Amino acid sequence: MGRCEHSRPDEECSPDENGYILYCPCMGKHYLLSYQHWEYENIGSCVLYFCTFKLTGRFGNQADHFLGSLAFAKALNRTLVLPHWIVHRSPKHHESPSVMVPFDDWFQVAPLQGYHRVILMAEFMRSIAPVIWPPGERAGLSQSLFTDLLTECMFPVTPGLLEKKKVGLTFSVTITVLCYMARKGPDGDGCNAKDGNPFGPFWDHINVNFDRSEIFQPLHYDIHRQDNLEKWKEKYPPKEWPVLAFVGAPASFPVQEENIHLQKYFKWTEEMVQKGSDFKRTHLPRGAYVGIHLRNGIDWERACSYVDKSQTLFSSPQCVGYRNDKGPTTQEMCLPPLSTIVKHVKRAVKQVNAQSVFVASDNNHYIPELSKALEKMQVSVHKLDPPDPQLDLVILGLSNHFIGNCVSSFSAFVKRDRDAIGFPSSFFGFPVPRHSSAKEGNNFHDEL
C-alpha cells in the first residue's frame, strides 16, 4: 500500500502497489434519458431514449459520479485520485469556460479515507506521477456516450484495441479512457481524451497529455456484479497498469442505488459549513427555516419535455424508485408550477414553524411571488446574492426542512446529505395524489 500524509505537502508519497484510478468529471453533450430493464439476466434487452441537448456536467452530476467512482476504486482496491471539481461558466463573460477547483476546497479528505484510500490530484501529480506515470508512458481509455450511464446494458462494438508496449522493465502505463467506442476527434479512432470542453481544460490544468488510447469494451462500471469486477482485475492488473485514467468518471448517472450510502463520507470543509452558518446568523431571522431548490431555467424546461418519453429522467429514481415502483415521473415533479411550490412551502412552514424560507435556483427564485404568498404567515423569503451554488447546498443542508426537485441531481445531493444525518426532506409534486395518478391502483399517499 502507498504511504502519504495529506496534511503535509512536503511529505514524500510512496506509490500504492495496487494502482490508482484517475478521471475527468466530464460529461458529453449527448445524454441517455432512461433505460428499461425487460429481463435482468438478458443485458441486451433494453429500451433506450436519447436526447441531444447539451449537458456539461454541473456539480450535482459530478457528485453522483464521484460516489460511483469511489465505489469503483474500492472494488478494484486502487487508490482514487480525487479530481478537481469543474465549474462551468458562460464564455460570453469569462475568458475560460471552465474553472478547476481543488477537491479539498469544498470537501474534507479525512472522512473519505475512513472508507478507502484517496489522494489529492496535486499530491498525486507531484509525488506519484513522476515515478509510475511519467510523460511518454500515458495512454488514455476513451469514454463513449453510453458507457458512463449504462451499468448493465451492453452493446456489441468492434474496438480497435491498441497493443501495450514495454518500456524498460515495466509495461507502459495505461491511463484508461473508459470507452465502449472511440470518441470523435482529431486523433482518429482513439479516445480523443482532450477534445472539447471541459475535457481539454481539465487535463491541461494538470499538464497531462495522452500517448495512447485503450478501449475497454465489453467491461462496464457495475462492480456490484462479481463477474464484471473480476474481469476488470484480470484485464488491467496493477503491475502492468499502475494508473487507470478515464476520460470520464467510471460510474453511472444517476448514482447507483447501492452507492448512495457513501454520501456519509462526503463532508463539507469546516470553512464551507462556517460560511453557511454565518449566512444563517446574519441574513435569516432567528428560528427555523425551510430550504427549497427550484430548477426552472430554459435548459431545464427543454429537459422536462422528455418526461413523457421516459420512465425515469436524471435523478428521478430518488422519488419514483430505481424500478419505477412508486409510479412514473411527472411534469409536476420536473417543472412544478408556482401553485405547487406555494402549496408545499406553506405545508412545510407550518410543520416546522418556520420564520423564513431560503431559495436556491438556477434561474427564477420567485422571491416576490413567495413573499406575497407567505405574507399573512409573517414568513420572509431569502436567497444568496451574489450566487454561490456550493454555499446554496450548505445552507439547504442546514435547513429545518428541505423541499427539492425529484429530477435534479442538485436536489439529490442535498437529499442524500440530509438523509445521512437524519434531517427531513420532501419533493415538489411527489408523492402524486391518488386521484391524479396516471395508473389506477398505484399506492400513492398525499402527505409529505
Q: What is the CATH number of domain 20-259?
A: 3.40.50.11340
Q: Prior bond to 254 cis, omega within 30? A: yes
The whole model's pTM is what? Answer: 0.82
Please report where in the chains the cell 433494453 appears, as a residue.
46
Task: Give residue 321's pLDDT.
Answer: 97
Closest CA relative to residue 33, chosen from 150, 172, 187, 134: 150
**Count of beta carbons in the 10 Å neighbourhood of residue 156:** 8
Task: Give residue 183's pLDDT.
Answer: 72
Q: Do the beta carbons of residue 141 and residue 174 sit within 8 Å?
A: yes
Closest CA relative to residue 25, chosen from 184, 253, 220, 238: 253
CA angle 246, 248, 250 (to 5 degrees): 70
Q: What is the 3-state secondary structure (H, E, C) of the chain?
A: CCECCCCCCCCCCECCCCCEEEECCCCCCCEEEEEEECCCCCCCCEEEEEECCCCCCCHHHHHHHHHHHHHHHHHHCCEEEECCEEEECCCCCCCCCEEEECHHHCECCHHHHCCCCEEEHHHHHHHHHHHHCCCCCCEEECCCCCCCCCCCCCCCCCCCCCCCCEECCEECCECCCCCCCCCCCCCCCCCCCCCCCCHHHHHHHCCCCCCEEECCCCCCCCCCCHHHHHHHHHHCCCCCCCEEEECCCCCCCCCCHHHHHHHHHCCECHHHHHHHHHHHHHHCCCCCEEEEEECCCHHHHHHHCCHHHCCCCCCCHHHHCCCCCCCCCCHHHHCCCHHHHHHHHHHHHHHHCCCEEEEEECCCCCHHHHHHHCHHHCCEEECCCCCCHHHHHHHHHHCCEEEECCCCHHHHHHHHHHHHHCCCEEECCECCCHHHCCCCCCCCCCCC
Q: Which amino acid is at 22?
A: L
Q: Do the beta carbons of residue 183 and residue 142 sit within 8 Å?
A: yes
Task: Give residue 176's pLDDT.
Answer: 41
Residues 6+ apart with CB under 8 A from 45: 37, 38, 39
Q: Where in the chain are the domains?
A: 20-259, 268-436
Q: Which amino acid is at 149?
A: L
Question: What is the Cα–Cα distance from 158 to 156, expressed in whole angstroms?
Answer: 7
Task: Give residue 214's pLDDT.
Answer: 80
Cβ-based burial of 246 (10 A; exposed 0-12, middle 13-18, buried ≥19): buried
What would the grid cell of residue 417 be?
446529505
Question: What is the Cα–Cα distance from 239 to 241, expressed in whole angstroms?
Answer: 6
Residue-level pLDDT, tens digit, the chain, 448 residues: 555 544 344 456 789 999 999 999 987 533 333 333 322 233 333 333 333 333 445 899 999 999 999 999 999 999 999 999 999 876 555 566 789 999 999 999 999 999 999 999 999 999 999 999 887 655 555 443 333 333 322 222 222 222 222 222 233 334 445 455 567 777 777 777 777 888 888 888 888 877 777 888 788 888 888 889 999 999 999 999 999 989 889 999 999 999 999 999 999 999 999 999 999 999 999 999 999 999 999 999 999 999 988 878 999 999 999 999 999 999 999 999 999 999 999 999 999 999 999 999 999 999 999 999 999 999 999 999 999 999 999 999 999 999 999 999 999 999 999 999 999 999 999 998 876 544 433 332 333 2
Q: Which amino acid is at 47?
A: V
The architecture in CATH of the region 268-436 reads 3-Layer(aba) Sandwich (3.40)
Question: What is the Cα–Cα distance from 120 to 118, expressed in whole angstroms?
Answer: 7
Question: What is the Cα–Cα distance from 47 to 51, expressed in whole angstroms?
Answer: 14
Same fold, 20-259 and 268-436: yes
Task: Give residue 5's pLDDT.
Answer: 43
φ, ψ for residue 71 (rounded to 5)? -65, -40
